[in-house]
Structure 1
Amino acid sequence: MKRWLRQRVDAAYERLLTRELSGAPTHIAVIQDGNRRYARQNGDEPHEGHRAGAETTEQVLEWCQEIGVEELTLYTFSTENFDRPAEQKEALFDLLCEKLREFADADRVHENEVSIRAIGEIEMLPERVQDAVDYAERRTRDYDRFVLNIALAYGGRSRLLEAARGVARDVDAGELEPNEIDVETIERRLYDRPVRDVDLIIRPAGEERTSNFLPWHANGNEAAVFFCTPYWPEFSKADFLRGIRTYEHRKESWRRTRARRALALLGAVSEAELTEARSIVERFRDSLPTSERPTDDELAVGEDLEGNEPVAD
């Protein structure tokens, strides 16, 4: 009876959260934490926790597609994970091979045109895992409706370091001028194919840190971060929707802050600053509290300061 009631309550809460959402992030990144602790609390072996976590991963992929997310990145195996006991690593590698091939052959993956890609130091992984990665990527290479990135042998700092070294080599060889280095120069060297900026990072299991995960794409985009306490195998749709709500609140806060800063700039005398400020205020004016919203006349003052003839009284 209690289980039935709990299910009814959870379902009602999910419907409430769904109704409250007004949009979806484009790119979500997930740190799949707590698999081993989940197994330990249930008296199981670590690999059983990872297998339970893989089931949650499949559900999250479906939830993302339901609300219109276009890219999902899963932190699956970090470079630090190579320090784990050999038996744990081998069991995880076996599971990765199984799931990569299973995903690559799944009807739902092809029906939804999911492109599976691996990011990280793939060459550090056992040959059987590299073969499974290659199989999944080849089977889904022509799709672009939804992107699923699997972060394997991944370390954010190491990727940035390799990108910087690549830029330095090109400059040293005379193939790149220092003044030509821009954002795209770095991004082209991070991964074989483009990765969208991260809008939301989700981390379960009670840890409140992002663990060197996609620093260029998340920190550079000021991504929202949602921390929650359930272990990854226990992560529910309600938890997922709460994460989306966190993203929406973060986005609204960002819009409001930008509008306030831009409104303050309207008192400056630089034409370039005024042009940018007025543009931002016009775009984000509705995000400000009513008492703070500038009138059309107040915005027109900015036009006068740009050098236009003042409006006669």
Structure 2
Amino acid sequence: MKRWLRRRVDAAYERVLSREISGAPTHVAVIQDGNRRYARGKGADAPDGHRAGAKTTERVLEWCQDIGVEELTLYAFSTENFERPDEENEALFDLLETKLLEFADADRVHDNEVRIRALGEVERLPERVRRAVDYAEAQTRGYDRFVLNIALAYGGRSQLLEAVSGVADDVKAGALEPDEIAVETIENRLYDQPVRDVDLIIRTGGDERTSNFLPWHANGNEAAVFFCTPYWPEFSKTDFLRGIRTYEHREESWRRTRARRALALLGAISDPELVEARSVVERFRDSLPTAEQPTSEELAGLDADSSDGIDSSSQTAD
């Protein structure tokens, strides 16, 4: 297809997707894969791919803010990346330092009150990158309208292991009782500042895996996942909107499933559970196809029918 026609088709598709999207996830996490393969395809070196990918990163930040996303996490450098050639990593560290300093002073960051934070074992990074991280975090610490997390020297499994080890040490020292351990106990040890549950993971480059990325906040929240084939430097707004649409379909399916399950249980559960089930059905009733939506009279009838079959001990009557 000729380039001008391709552009017109992509622009039209982007408009269609924009009209279809009615909401936005709160927290989007992105695995920026394919920079090196993009560079090889262009006959260039890996650092050229990383520089091209940095431009995409800036665009994605704008797209997130345009549709109402409140938190964006970018997988910029994993613990496994330390195994890559030194010359490639040194060039990437130079780029990270430059972009962190640029972002920290950028008008669009301050105008939109973007808070920049680093996640991961930052102490393993070169001193120049650590200084840039400290500067970016200090320059934006007072903001809370939008959060940009940059995962650097990050490994989700090691983060969880460190958090659990900290809990075990506190229990052993008598500072924490085993029955006091809750979800918040782990979360408070994962990062210095709270991280929202991930609603959508986007991975570019064609691989269909999440690569140990934010396992607590993504898997625990059953985040939607969108895999796409473009390399990160080629990732377009159309691709981004397709990812958002995947999230919306996932949320719609989740609501429909909850409503159907609660509706099916209404006639066979105890009084306390009945109240909760009716609440779920009423909350998500509109997500069901019209033919499946119960009327208020039908809900009241199910309530009465189930009450007749429950004895005073909340057990099904004979």
TM-score, normalising length from structure 2? Answer: 0.94
Amino acid at match of 2:209: R
Residue of structure 1 in register with 2:167 after alignment? 167
Distance of 1:213 and 1:232 partners within structure 2: 17
Amino acid at match of 2:109: V
Residue of structure 2 in register with 1:296 after alignment? 296
Distance of 2:205 and 2:13 partners within structure 1: 21
2:206/2:228 contact within 8 Å kept:
yes
Residue of structure 1 in register with 2:115 after alignment? 115
1:35/1:231 contact within 8 Å kept:
yes
Residue of structure 2 in register with 1:61 after alignment? 61
Shift of 1:302: 4.6
Q: Which blocks of at least 5 consecutive residues in structure 2 are unaligned?
A: 311-318
1:278/1:302 contact within 8 Å kept:
no
Matched, 1:71 2:71: yes
Distance of 1:226 and 1:145 partners within structure 2: 25
Deviates more, 1:286-295 or 1:229-238: 286-295
**1:240-279 equivalent positions in 2, closer than 5 A:** 240-279=240-279
- SS of 1:117's equivalent in the other structure is strand
The number of aligned residues is: 309
Shift of 1:284: 0.3
Deviates more, 1:266-275 or 1:282-291: 266-275
Amino acid at match of 2:250: R
Query: Which whole-Å deviations, capped at 9, do the CAs of 1:146-192 have from their partners, x for residues lacking one?
Result: 00000000011111111101111111111111111111111111100
1:274/1:302 contact within 8 Å kept:
no
- SS of 2:267's equivalent in the other structure is coil
- SS of 1:266's equivalent in the other structure is helix
Shift of 1:268: 2.1
Amino acid at match of 2:41: Q
Distance of 1:143 and 1:308 partners within structure 2: 56
Deviates more, 1:181-190 or 1:28-37: 181-190
Residue of structure 1 in register with 2:224 after alignment? 224
Residue of structure 2 in register with 1:37 after alignment? 37
Shift of 1:243: 0.5
Amino acid at match of 2:174: G
Distance of 1:140 and 1:306 partners within structure 2: 57
Q: Which blocks of at least 5 consecutive residues in structure 1 are unaligned?
A: none
Shift of 1:245: 0.5
Matched, 1:234 2:234: yes
- SS of 1:230's equivalent in the other structure is coil
Distance of 1:9 and 1:115 partners within structure 2: 36
Distance of 2:301 and 2:81 partners within structure 1: 59
Residue of structure 2 in register with 1:215 after alignment? 215
Query: Which whole-Å deviations, capped at 9, do the CAs of 1:262-305 have from their partners, x for residues lacking one?
Result: 11221223223212211110100011112211221222145434
- SS of 1:189's equivalent in the other structure is helix
Runs of 4+ aligned residues of structure 1 deviating over 4 Å after TM superposition are 306-309
Distance of 1:127 and 1:51 partners within structure 2: 21
